[in-house]
A and B are shown apart, each in its own frame.
Chain A
């Protein structure tokens, strides 16, 4: 089945530094990938839609300069949290869909802790 790999699984960084999270589709090509954020005991909120070869589409209220998205190939999208602060600590999950008749597959998530 379709697999989405996300790396790293967890990361701890100092306030003010930047962190890059990778999302790869392993056995299919994904022209579109999605980045979600999940706070403890809450649901998932879509942050942005990553489009291969073009700019990402950000949801209302999401700072595009804070959360940089790059989708340079059909199998890789990256989310960079720039100048991270403790309030950016969260669980970030990416998703992609092999085709219209398939469900959305999610990565295993990245737990970011900013200290």
Chain B
């Protein structure tokens, strides 16, 4: 089955850019998502990219997809303390099933 991996932790200073990485194994994945989860809350959809795209930009967020390497990244420009949260990448296997990565805890310090 699909396996989705992320680094567990990222620490940046306020104002810097953050890059969160994700790798997956199933090349037939259709949509790839990034979600944000704050403590005790549900998941907030940040952005998603279709598998035939290489890049998608939405305000401070940039998603890069390298299908050859099965690598997905989320770049947050001008990171703020309010961006501190856990970020999950998720891959749609094409059967209406999302497989989630392990989550990356982003800590933004002033």
A residues neighboring B (CB under 8 Å): 6, 32, 34, 42-46, 49, 93, 95, 97, 103-109, 111
Indicate whether B42 reaches chain A with its CB closer than 8 angstroms.
Answer: yes
- Could you mark each residue 78-93 of chain B with 1 if its beta carbon is under 8 Å from any beta carbon of chain A, else 0? 0000000000101000
Q: Are A111 and B40 touching (Cβ within 8 A)? A: yes
Q: Are A106 and B45 touching (Cβ within 8 A)? A: yes
**CB within 8 Å of A: which of B60-91?**
88, 90
Chain A interface, >50% SS class? strand
B residues neighboring A (CB under 8 Å): 31, 33, 35, 40-45, 48, 88, 90, 96-98, 100-103
Q: Report the minimal beta-carbon distance from B32 to chain A, rounded to whole angstroms.
A: 10
Q: Are B102 and A107 touching (Cβ within 8 A)? A: no
What is the count of residue pairs linking A and B with beta-carbon distances less than 8 angstroms? 46
CA distance A95 to B43 in the complex (A): 9
- Residue from the set A6, A45, A104 with the largest chain B CB neighbour count within 10 Å: A104
The 10 closest A-B pairs by CB, nearest first: A106-B43, A108-B42, A109-B42, A103-B45, A43-B100, A106-B42, A103-B48, A44-B100, A43-B102, A107-B42
Residues in B with CB closer than 8 Å to A109 are 40-42
Q: Are A105 and B41 touching (Cβ within 8 A)? A: no
